[in-house]
């Protein structure tokens, strides 16, 4: 079998060295990383908390809600309460991980 394609035509391998870039950072700048802390879980927690307050307020100010409305309001309250608890705990976990990362950077950094 005579083919016109050679093994060198299939792949070219080029070895490239790595380049490391080092940045100087001040100790106060590390604190700013977590001071301006933001997390998607923190945002979702705030949104769900607002929805929870809205549902509870509406449920409690209804004059004479029917059984169907009471079940809907109760279910919504439980759902939003659990979602608020979950997103709040995840936001705390994200914040804790951010603080651990900053601490690890501080421990592994050498002053210049």
Mean pLDDT per 10-residue run, the chain (112 residues)? 61 70 72 72 94 93 86 94 96 86 79 66
31 in any annotated domain: no
The domain total for the chain is: 1
Cα(62)–Cα(90) distance, rounded to whole angstroms?
A: 33
Supply the pLDDT for residue 77.
95
Structural domain harbouring 80: 39-112
Supply the pLDDT for residue 102.
81
27 in any annotated domain: no
7 in any annotated domain: no
1 in any annotated domain: no
pTM of the model: 0.67
52 in any annotated domain: yes
51 in any annotated domain: yes
């Amino acid at each position: 079998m005579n083919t016109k394609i050679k093994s060198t035509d299939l792949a070219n391998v080029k070895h490239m060295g790595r380049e490391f870039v080092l940045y100087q950072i001040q100790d106060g700048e590390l604190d700013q990383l977590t001071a301006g802390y933001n997390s998607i879980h923190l945002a979702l927690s705030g949104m769900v908390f607002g929805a929870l307050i809205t549902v509870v307020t509406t449920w409690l100010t209804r004059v004479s809600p029917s059984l169907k409305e009471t079940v809907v309001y109760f279910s919504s309250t439980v759902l939003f309460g659990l979602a608020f608890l979950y997103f709040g705990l995840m936001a705390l976990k994200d914040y804790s991980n951010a603080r651990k990362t900053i601490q690890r950077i501080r421990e592994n950094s050498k002053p210049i």
